[in-house]
Structure 1
Amino acid sequence: MSSTTPVFKIIPTTQKYDWGKKGLSSKVAQFATASKIPGFALDEEAPYAELWMGTHISSPSRLLSGETLSSHLAAHKELIGEKVATKFADAGAAEGNLPFLLKVLAIAKALSIQTHPDKKMAERLHQEQPTVYKDANHKPEMALALTDFTALCGFLPLPKIAAYLLSTPEFAALVPTTIASQFASLSTSSDPTGPAEKAALKDLFSAVMTAEESLFKTQLDVLVERYQRGSVADVEEEVRDLVLTLHSQFPGDIGAFCAFLLNYVKMQPGDAIFLAAGEPHAYISGDIVECMATSDNVIRAGLTPKLRDVPNLVDGLTYAAADPRKHLVAPAPAAPHTTLYDPPIPEFAVLRVALAPGEAAAHAPVDGPSVAVVTEGRGAVGWGAGETLGVSEGEVFFVGAGAELRLEAADQKLVVYRAFVEAA
């Protein structure tokens, strides 16, 4: 193959974080082992949390030759495409940087209570704390469930939070009476995202997250003891097990009280959620494919041993309380055996291809670059005048702008997630 072939394999990187699944119980380790990532040595006791596929400077992908993907794309600008390079110039697309980052996550215990800044806030945080917030980009993200997956995402509807304040005295003890009263008076508003309603929710959330440690630890101990002996109000039934799980993973952590503030969603394979800038969330368990704008900016405030930045998290949230369906991304048919997940942002969309043995799917050219990961099975990718590339579970490949693609399963099922960007 020539050096400018539009389709080629790339080598992802693996990340070990405390919350990752250990050894081969992790999809990350399974994919790294199956695809024989150079230098990867399996440790059954290590927590394999993330597989990164892209050009982010913190952990860039490489070609089989060892060249970084960004260097190769900078030298062969046609692979990104002129329109994408121009539209995402501020993200460095003209220099070979993709405007999105694709990941696989394997989650054994909760990630932190967190949010991601918008671009304006990201630029400020990067300037003020460059060692913590290492780039100036925003990080809207989409999570697609590979297995059963649970998460906290976005603020609960206001009446539900008010119900917890009435039924859960340990939670209510963290909120000053004046703030609780103001929130209760607005919780049944016909405009839950109005300015006054958002301000009341912000005051309540801030009061909880900044509660004195001696207060919230005492109340959490009381709450856990009550739940363990089976004293649970009806409204608490759906979060009882979640609170106990979070407390077992992070004893005495304020993040456990976010069960009374954020939507608890349970997803099945094929479901997807989108989290825009300023939406609070925490992934709880499961395996996912995740796509995001190219950034590693995370503002944390609970359920983590890492740096907590409560003031910036409180200031950066949208406080748009809503049913969790607000965050769901509805899949749409895009081609034979292909489903499109298209969140409301320009940086990325994701195609999921699922082929039975012997089946094939054709994809029309995309006016921008793609990164694809094989999550199951094996088969072949074809393009151009009959060129083909064999692919199997765990392998990652790049697709250049304008390449018409054909995917075909071999003697077993083939499942591929393809993240792409194009400029309208």
Structure 2
Amino acid sequence: MTSKVFSIVGGVQSYDWGKIGSKSKAAQFASKGGIPNFTIDNFKPYAELWMGTHPTVPSHLASTNETLSSYIASSPESLIGPNVLNAFPSAQKGNLPFLFKILAIGKALSIQAHPHKELAEKLHAERPDLYKDPNHKPEMAIALTPFTALCGFRPPPQIATFLSVVPEFASLIPPTILTSFQAVSSLPPSNPELKAALRDVFAALMTAPAEEVKNRLSMLVGRYKSGGWVEEEEDVKDWAVKLDEQFPSDIGVFCVYVLNIVKLKPGEAIFLGAGEPHAYLEGDIVETMATSDNVLRAGLTPKVRDVPNLVSSLTYTAADPSHHIVYPTASPKSPNTLIYDPPIPEFVVSKTNLGGGDTDALESVEGPSIAIVTGGSAKIGELDVAEGSVVFVGAGEEVAVQAGNAGLEVFRAFVEA
């Protein structure tokens, strides 16, 4: 008989931007989550803990070391459920529609966006070495600790103001493009003429000559360090200096003037659809995405940059940060659970908090789910779990939960069709 509730172990990715050693939530959870032969090196950055079926870092059953995808493929009707199988045919082969992660960000990730499905298929066909799958990658980030990100284009009047008061920024934009953008910056954000002008500004910025960028950044950082800024620069100056320290002379530093700076408290969330530029700057998050590892990069990175495809794929939606916020709602079945439901079919995330000794349940859903304990301990079904434990729950299963003496916090990613 196929078991539908069982422990799994994920895998850790070490990237340069990760938090160092035991400061990383990804490393903390990995060290307690049963990953074979994993010990924390306090001189090594740990960036991501992956939980899912993506072939780059596939999860395994804790009891047998069989890959999760192989186990699911042996009984997809039972574990995935018929509705999800109909909606996501690749699930027949054991592929979950979502990838669940813990990210620990010690320094900025790249200025990036993710391609929509058609572009992802095209890029994968052309450059499978760089774009390793044909899938899109909408994603949601929920803060575990205070978290800061660059997220989506600022309202155009804000960008226009920066172009007026930050000469080092304005000098990188050709005068004709600068004048055209300033002339239309007060139009409604959905106006096609404004979107085209914003695209021209961003494209000009991302393709500015490297030597000119280096000179302008030197002037900008020097001015900020000497106390020379105006009121409009107050909220961006520290990040400009910090990003230049992390990535000297990088064009991505200037993105603080075109992208929103978003600050989240624990439990707050943002969603980024295809074609939305962003860069995570610092903090620990629970991240959920469609099963893909496709990234278009253009700055703040030593990795390959694909400026032409990034620039051409963006939506150029310009709005204040609230446009990207996901507001959780209370679960109708449990007063202890919040539901984060972004506007895509691949995943939903819940967060359940219980006091010491309290009981509840991981409610039944029509599709598969993965849950990670991010605080405390509990009995989940027949499993004894603690911080870092990861559990797979098959379709249609309701699982009883009893928190330990210190209470419980658990995040759960799932899909329902």
Q: CA deviation at 1:37?
A: 1.6
Q: 2:393 aligns with which of 393, 399, 404?
A: 399
| Distance apart, 1:42 and its partner CA | 1.6
Shift in Å at residue 400 of structure 1? 0.2
Measured after TM superposition, the shift of residue 359 of structure 1 is: 1.2
Matched, 1:413 2:407: yes
What CA distance in whole angstroms lies between the structure 1 residues aligned with 2:66 and 2:31?
A: 22
Query: Gapped runs of 5+ residues in structure 2?
Result: none
Specify the SS of the correspondent of 1:403: coil
Partner of 1:385: none
8 Å Cα contact 1:15-1:51 kept in structure 2? yes
In structure 1, distance between residues paired with 2:177 and 2:315 = 19
Unaligned runs of 5+ in 1: 383-387
What residue number does 2:207 align with?
Answer: 210
Which residues of 2 match residues 120-269 of structure 1 at below 5 A? 120-189=118-187, 191-269=188-266
Contact 1:299 1:313 in 2 (8 A): yes
Q: Identical aligned pairs, as a percentage? A: 57
Distance of 1:243 and 1:42 partners within structure 2: 32
Give, in angstroms, the shift of residue 179 of structure 1.
0.5
Offset of residue 405 of structure 1: 2.0
* 1:93-104 to 2 correspondences below 5 Å: 93-104=91-102
- Among 286, 292, 295, the alignment partner of 1:295 is 292
Supply the AA of the counterpart residue of 1:401: A
State the alpha-carbon separation in 2 of the partners of residues 215 and 193 from structure 1. Answer: 32
Per-residue Cα deviation, 1:289-322 (whole angstroms, up to 9, x for no partner): 0000000000000000000000000001000000
Cα deviation 1:62-104 (Å, max 9, x = unaligned): 0021110000000011101111011011xx1111100000000
Cα deviations by residue, 1:149-182 (Å, 9 ceiling, x for unpaired): 0000000000000000000000000001110111
1:22-72 CA-partner distances (Å, limit 9, x unpaired)? 110111111112223212122110101000000001110000211100000
Deviations 1:111-153 (A, max 9, x none): 0000000000000000110000000000000000000000000
The answer on whether the counterparts of 1:86 and 1:94 sit within 8 Å (CA) in structure 2 is no
Number of matched pairs = 413
Equivalent in the alignment of 1:321: 318
2:338 & 2:80 partners in 1: Cα distance?
23
4+ residue stretches of structure 1 with deviation over 3 A? none
Aligned to 2:80: 80
C-alpha distance in 1 between matches for 2:85 and 2:17: 36
Letter in 2 for 1:85: L
Asked if the contact 1:336/1:361 (under 8 Å) is kept, the reply is no
1:274 aligns with 2:268: no
1:338 is the counterpart of 2:332: no
The alignment's TM-score, normalised by the length of structure 2, stands at 0.98
CA distance in 2, matches of 1:250, 1:321: 26
Matched residue of 1:321: which SS? coil
SS in 1 for 2:15: strand
- Could you tell me the TM-score, scaled by structure 1's length? 0.96
**d(CA) in 2 for partners of 1:355 and 1:155?**
38
Matched residues in 1 for 2:164 and 2:240: separation? 17
Distance 1:150 1:286 in 2: 7
Distance 2:402 2:241 in 1: 46
Find the counterpart in structure 2 of residue 378 from structure 1. 377
SS of residue in 1 equivalent to 2:367: coil
- Residues 183-226 of structure 1 show CA distances to partners (whole Å, capped at 9, x for unaligned) of 0111111x212211110000000000000111111101000000
**Contact 2:148–2:262 (CA<8 Å) still a contact in 1?**
yes
Deviates more, 1:299-308 or 1:37-46: 37-46
Q: What is the identity, as a one-letter code, of the residue corresponding to 1:316?
A: S
3-state SS of paired residue (1:17): coil
**Correspondence 1:15-94 to 2 at 5 A:** 15-64=13-62, 65-77=64-76, 78-89=78-89, 92-94=90-92
Say what the alpha-carbon RMSD is for the aligned residues: 0.8
Instruction: State whether residues 336 and 362 of structure 1, in contact with CA within 8 Å, keep that contact through their aligned partners in structure 2.
Output: no
Distance in 2 separating the partners of 1:417 and 1:224: 40
Deviation at 1:407, TM superposition (A): 1.8
Higher mean C-alpha deviation, range 362-371 or range 232-241: 362-371
